[in-house]
Amino acid sequence: MNHQELRDLAAMYALGGLDGEERARFEALLRSGDPDATAALSEFEGDLLTLARDTAEAPPPSVKAELMARIAAEARHDAPSAEAPAIRRRRVLWPAVWAAVMAAGIAAVAVGVLVSASYETRLAALARESTALRADIERQQQIIALLRDPATEMVALSGLEPSPSARARMIWNSQAGGLLVAAGLPPTPEGKTYQLWAIAGKNAPVPAGVFAVDATGKGSLRVPPLGGMGKVDVFAVTLEPAGGLPAPSGQMYLAGKS
């Protein structure tokens, strides 16, 4: 194996994607302490840490709060054994034992309360998950039906002045409605919303729904069929006050002709 091949293996191993016989071969090299393999691997692992630092995102404060509460609950349950002093004396002080038993009983109740609270949190999370799952499946079926319909067309929207790098696709079917998928939009400012418009010929734009984007600038919008509207010539997205308006007032971020 030449140097370049070894580095290819190390890079893929660091990414977690090395498989089959090559994985076995590379792991054997690592086990044997091969200096080139070890050095290449730690080099690429370093790159991935850099990548991780680059994608940092502040977690919601609730995560830390829950963790600290969980740790506090555990500490009450069993004090860290590493810090427990070694038992030197054989003589046992019974009152102290009783006090400890009582304290343990109280602690057990406290832990019970906390544990049940944590199960409730978990159950609520599961319920949320299953609701989201059902909604996802429904959405997925609608999208598939839409994509299967030969009358469905795909309209590309390009970014305009305020966000030239934004892009979107409108999957549109005049009978069934459609789906807008946008990427690269600036985060929605406080009190504002993105609003989609459908325009036919020289007529006034028809409001087609509002949406927000996530931290990565992506957003999507299910659009119902726009009753009474024939062929749509242009789809456009503007930034409007929260809730949207009956007619566009803000700057246009995306537009595309069908």
Partner 1 sequence: MPSTGASPEDPGALVARIARGDREAFSRLYDAYAGPAFGLIRRVLRDPEASKDVLQEVFWQVWREAARYDPGRASPEAWILMRAKSRAIDRLRSMRRRDRTFVTAVDDSVARAAETGDDPPALVADRGLVERGLDRLPDAQRRVIELAFFEGLTQSEIAARLGEPLGTVKTRARLGLERLRSLLGGGRPSTT
Q: What is the distance of C-alpha 152 from the center of its chain?
A: 29
Angstrom distance (rounded) from CA 257 to CA 64: 48
Q: Minimum distance between the CB of residue 34 and partner 1, rounded to whole angstroms?
A: 16
Edge-to-edge strand order for the sheet containing 219-223? 206-211, 192-199, 234-241, 252-257, 153-159, 167-173, 177-183, 219-223
CA-based torsion, 201, 203, 208, 213: positive or negative = positive
For partner 1 (CB under 8 A), the number of binding residues is 80
Q: Give the nearest distance from C-beta 124 to partner 1 in angstroms.
A: 10
Binder of partner 1 out of 24, 133, 212, 247 (CB under 8 A)? 133
Binding mask 74-93 for partner 1 (x = CB under 8 A): -x---xx-xx----------
Smaller CB separation from partner 1, 25 or 64: 64
Residue among 9, 198, 210, 223 that touches partner 1 (CB under 8 A): 9
Indicate the helix (H) or strand (E) that contains 199. Answer: strand 192-199
CB-based contacts of 29-37 (< 8 A; 24+ apart in sequence)? 36/3, 36/6, 37/6, 37/9, 37/10
In the three-class reduction of DSSP (H, G, I as helix; E, B as strand; rest coil), residue 206 is classed as: strand
Residue of 26, 37, 169, 188 that binds partner 1 (CB under 8 A): 169
- Please tell me the distance from the alpha carbon of residue 53 to that of residue 56, in angstroms, as a whole number: 5
Judged by CB under 8 A, the chain residues 91 through 120 that form the site for partner 1 are none
Rg (CA), the chain: 30
Q: Which of 44, 77, 200, 229 binds partner 1 (CB under 8 A)?
A: 44
Q: Extract the tokens encoding 178.
A: 């459609």
Shortest Å distance, C-beta 178 to partner 1 = 12
Give the residue, chosen from 26, 37, 163, 208, that forms a contact with partner 1 under the rule CB under 8 A. Answer: 163
- Does 66 bind partner 1 (CB under 8 A)? Our answer is yes
Q: Looking at beta carbons only, is 63 or 92 nearer to partner 1?
A: 63
Residues 136-155 touching partner 1, rule: CB under 8 A, are: 136-137, 139-140, 143-144
CA distance 8 to 13: 9
**Residue closer to partner 1, measured from CB, 86 or 92:** 86
Q: Which of 8, 34, 153, 233 binds partner 1 (CB under 8 A)?
A: 8
28, 48, 212, 242: which one binds partner 1 (CB under 8 A): 48
Q: Does 33 bind partner 1 (CB under 8 A)?
A: no
- The tokens of 116 are what? 């049940």
Residues 182-241 that bind partner 1 (CB under 8 A): 182-184, 186-187, 215-218, 220
